[in-house]
Amino acid sequence: MSSRIFSWLIISTLAFGGACKKEEVKEEPASKKDDESKSDDEGKKKKKDKDKDKDDESDDEGKKKKKKAGGDECPGTFGEFKDYDSADEQSCTCKEDHVGGAVWGSGIYTTDSSPCAAAVHAGVIKKDGGGEITMKHAKGCDSYVGSTKNGVISHGWTKFGGSFYFPDKGDGKCVKSDVCPSTFVSIKDKDEETEVTCNCAPNPSGSVWGSEIYTQDSSICNAAAHNGVITKAEGGSVTAKAAPGCKSYAGSTVNGVTSSSWGEYDTSFFFPSKGDGICKTPKAVTASKFKLNEVVDVLWNGAWYEGTILALAPGDKYRVHYSGYSSSWDEWVTLPRLRTKSGKGLKGSGAVAAPKATTAPSGGPAPSAALTAAPAAGAYAVGEAVTILWKGSWYPGKIIAVNGAQYKVHYDNYSASWDEWVTASRLKKK
């Protein structure tokens, strides 16, 4: 880094007396996502009929509150409770062997989070113990802080329409994100899977190296402004995630921020809402246990799911795509989270509860006319209209990229967050 310091000294001498910039960043969803998508998902929650009984309890004001029967198994998300947004407490039971489930927040969670996974994260129940849990609806927050607790990884998020919390563990008040550290490399106890959600002040400053994927000694907030996660004038909450180092980084001037080019660097970071964390010029991989495009089992929050290797990085690091779910769930993982495809003990065909998207309901793509014809193998070209198999039904879409035997598809009438890589077995010519 001595060359950077020397360059900085020269620039500082020439620019002595000039005005310094201040950094800002505007938050954007992790996987993958925007405020509008959350509002849409919030309004399209599935409702399940559940038996309920009224447990009359007198409080200090002489009022009574209702409580859902606790014997029912917990739904996939808090938003699936009937009347989930009422003032009533919601109770349900988590199985002893409960695994998997997506979570956004810490202490207070988005309503499309898994109740059982959130309960383990909050310490209400143990991961392998299960039991009855009680939750309560709360107003939406401007941001949600991700963290890893009790073996459960929760993600950060921006503004969302509704929340829930566990009365025994919290008060339902929104938790503000911390101020962003100056650089990603300065984050304590970080590793290959570190994700941080934090706030940036308006008018960010600081050196930036790269475009879409940045060296870890780059300014987080100025990189976020460069990448369009926030605007320079407003700042805001951002989510940044670690990624493998690249062979080189290309500089550019975007959104009023100029980034510099750089050569090989050990580690990178990116913003999941704006990029995929894959190097444009990756380092050479001389040996790896798993190969590009190989179908494998991937460990996620205690459960195994089917996935495909999208990219490789030195040190046995793999970019994976979860079968049946949008590319917003793609992530970098290391060997302890991978195993040879077995088809046994899988939680499901995808990573977790369906990701947040701008137009699709929480259950996944559901275009108006599902097709039922059988697939046909064969080669497909970029731009070709096809039908795509998704969770047992066929939907219209088109090929937007080809990588060997893998095809990246876009579902008609749905946002790009649902784009995904598939094999020919999930495609049929129109």
Contact 355, 414 (CB under 8 A): no
Asked which of 103-117, 177-191, 256-270, 410-424 is least confident by mean pLDDT, the reply is 410-424
User: CA dist 39 to 33, 146, 158, Å?
Assistant: 11, 20, 12
Distance, CA of 23 to CA of 20 (rounded, Å): 10
Please tell me whether residue 78 adopts helix, strand or coil conformation.
helix
Distance, CA of 283 to CA of 23 (rounded, Å): 30
| pLDDT of 310 | 92
Answer with the residue of higher pLDDT: 267 or 38: 267
Tokens found for residue 423: 């094999």
Residue 296 has pLDDT above 70, yes or no: yes
Answer with the residue of higher pLDDT: 361 or 265: 265
Residues near 169 by beta carbon (within 8 Å), at least 6 away in sequence? 107, 122, 123, 124
User: CA dist 67 to 15, 57, 84, 88, 329, Å?
Assistant: 66, 10, 12, 6, 35
Residue 253 has pLDDT above 80, yes or no: yes
Q: What is the DSSP letter of 363?
A: T
Contact 241, 269 (CB under 8 A): yes
Contact 251, 209 (CB under 8 A): yes
At 99, the pLDDT band (50, 70, 90 cuts) reads: low
Tokens found for residue 9: 């000294």
Distance, CA of 119 to CA of 128 (rounded, Å): 12
Asked which of 54-68, 73-87, 330-344, 359-373 is least confident by mean pLDDT, the reply is 359-373
Average pLDDT over residues 57-74: 49
Residue 8 has pLDDT above 60, yes or no: no
Please tell me whether residue 380 adopts helix, strand or coil conformation.
coil
Answer with the residue of higher pLDDT: 8 or 93: 93
Asked which of 58-72, 199-213, 297-311 is least confident by mean pLDDT, the reply is 58-72
- Pairing mode, if any, of strands 427-429 and 385-390? antiparallel
Distance, CA of 229 to CA of 222 (rounded, Å): 10
Residue 208 has pLDDT above 70, yes or no: yes
| pLDDT of 32 | 33
Contact 104, 137 (CB under 8 A): no
At 249, the pLDDT band (50, 70, 90 cuts) reads: very high
H helix runs in 96-186, sequence order = 115-122
Contact 214, 170 (CB under 8 A): no
At 195, the pLDDT band (50, 70, 90 cuts) reads: confident
Tokens found for residue 131: 């039991």
Which segment, 26-35, 46-55, 292-301, 358-367, is predicted with the most confidence on average?
Answer: 292-301
Answer with the residue of higher pLDDT: 119 or 360: 119
Distance, CA of 144 to CA of 140 (rounded, Å): 10
Residue 369 has pLDDT above 80, yes or no: no
Asked which of 29-33, 254-258, 297-301, 319-323 is least confident by mean pLDDT, the reply is 29-33
Query: How much is the mean pLDDT over the chain?
Result: 76
| pLDDT of 230 | 93
Residues near 316 by beta carbon (within 8 Å), at least 6 away in sequence? 288, 289, 334, 335
Q: What is the DSSP letter of 158?
A: -
Asked which of 151-160, 362-371, 382-391, 396-405 is least confident by mean pLDDT, the reply is 362-371
| pLDDT of 352 | 39
Contact 236, 26 (CB under 8 A): yes
Residue 44 has pLDDT above 50, yes or no: no
Contact 411, 364 (CB under 8 A): no
Amino acid at 25: V
Which domains, ranges and CATH numbers included, belong to the chain?
A: 46-83+88-165 (2.170.130.20), 178-270 (2.170.130.20), 385-429 (2.30.30.140)
Residues near 301 by beta carbon (within 8 Å), at least 6 away in sequence? 99, 100, 101, 102, 103, 117, 151, 152, 153, 352
Please tell me whether residue 260 adopts helix, strand or coil conformation.
strand
Q: With pLDDT > 70 as the criterion, what percentage of the chain qualifies?
A: 73
Residue 300 has pLDDT above 60, yes or no: yes
| pLDDT of 302 | 76
| pLDDT of 347 | 63
- Pairing mode, if any, of strands 346-348 and 303-313? parallel
What are the tens digits of pLDDT across the range 122-174? 999 987 788 999 999 999 988 888 888 888 888 888 788 899 999 999 899 99
CB count in 10 Å sphere of residue 228: 16
Contact 47, 370 (CB under 8 A): no
54: Cα separation from own chain's centroid: 38
Distance, CA of 359 to CA of 413 (rounded, Å): 8
At 86, the pLDDT band (50, 70, 90 cuts) reads: confident
| pLDDT of 42 | 39
Answer with the residue of higher pLDDT: 233 or 326: 233
Bridge partners for 295 per DSSP: 308
| pLDDT of 422 | 79
Average pLDDT over residues 286-295: 92
| pLDDT of 393 | 73
Residue 48 has pLDDT above 50, yes or no: no
